[in-house]
Amino acid sequence: MLVIDTISELQKVLVDERSKGKCIGLVPTMGALHQGHASLVRRSVAENDITVVSIFLNPTQFNDPKDLERYPRTLEEDCRILEECGAQIAFAPCVKEMYPEPDTRQFSYPPTDVVMEGARRPGHFNGVCQIVSKLFQITDPDNAYFGEKDYQQIAVICRMVEDLGFKVNIIPCPVIREESGLAMSSRNTLLTPEEKEIAPKIYQILKQSTTLQLSIAETQKWVIDEINKVEGLDVEYYSIVDGNTLADINNWEDAPNVVGCITVYCGKTPIRLIDHIRYK
Ligand code: PAF
């Protein structure tokens, strides 16, 4: 596997591969790779001739500097996982390489980027669009793979791709869960053993909520109440929305796809965990 840290070197390699008619898959990551990322990389390797995995802890999408500081950095182990998955290229640039000048571009795709995470993490999705659009411009991939764990992020990126006319196919990939049901996340490594015991309750309660015969408002309230009853868990929001536009809905019949998206604070630090469940 090639490990490349400059844009010019990456583009040189990719221009060469493209001229041979090779199909390119991109898996954007911020490192601290786990089996969820590995599943994206394996899928890209199976569906493309060349898989590029970017490893870049993008500062512009962090609205909380403490969150950025705490984020795990594990480049050596990341490269080992990528080798094992069969990726051809790891692209691990430094911040100056990606942002020689501050990125002042503004992206706006309401309602997808202003509800839920967008409302609580100002600038987060703008930062995601800045880095993902740069990665698309640099690598010009045929296919790009994103985990459905960040359900809202995929909706925002799809709007950006449509808006800017990128030719890439966005491939959403299913959430990979620990045996306990907890959605895999780089942040899980920050959980204490006690927190790891209670965090799986989030998904258990979400799953249980799909069996209730309640209205949307009642289901939202039930989920929030049940999770808040667990000591150490504190729901920030639970929204049941149109699965495509992410707009709020009042009735189950209001949209063809209906998804519940949740963010929960876990433990004393606390660690912010996100998850979602599909109702239809
Ligand atoms: O999902 C992530 O890890 C990041 O938001 C992404 C897409 C790699 C952009 O930095």
Report the pLDDT averaged over residues 158-179: 97
Q: Mean of the pLDDT values across residues 167-186?
A: 96
Rounded to the nearest angstrom, the distance between the alpha carbon of 225 and the centre of ligand 1 is 31
Catalytic residues: 37
Under the banding of pLDDT at 50, 70 and 90, the label for residue 161 is very high
Q: What is the pLDDT of residues 190-237, one digit of tens each?
A: 999 999 999 999 999 999 999 999 999 999 999 999 999 999 999 999
Task: Please name the fold of domain 186-275.
Answer: Pantoate--beta-alanine Ligase; Chain: A,domain 2 (3.30.1300)
Quick one: pLDDT at residue 134? Answer: 98
Instruction: Give me the mean pLDDT over the 135-158 stretch.
Output: 98
Ligand 1: which of 26, 27, 29, 67 to mutate, judged by most atoms within 8 Å of the beta carbon?
29
- Express as a percent the part of the chain with pLDDT over 90: 96
Residue ID of nearest Cα to ligand 1 atom 9: 128
The ligand 1 site (C-beta within 6 Å) comprises: 28-30, 58, 61, 128, 131-132, 150, 153
In angstroms, what is the span from residue 26 Cα to ligand 1's centroid? 12
The confidence score (pLDDT) of residue 186 equals: 87
**102, 87, 78, 118: which is closest to 263 by C-alpha?**
118
The H-or-E segment that residue 238 falls in is strand 233-242
Tokens coding 26: 């991109």
Domain residue ranges in the chain: 2-173, 186-275
The answer to whether residues 183 and 209 touch, using CB atoms and an 8 Å cutoff, is no
Q: What is the pLDDT of residues 37-80, one digit of tens each?
A: 999 999 999 999 999 999 999 999 999 999 899 899 999 999 99
**C-alpha 143 to ligand 1 mean position (Å):** 15
Distance CA 203, CA 180 (A): 9
| Atom of ligand 1 minimally distant from the CA of 54 | 8
Note whether 134 and 99 are within 8 A (CB): no
Fold classified for 2-173: Rossmann fold (3.40.50)
For residue 152, the model assigns a pLDDT of: 98
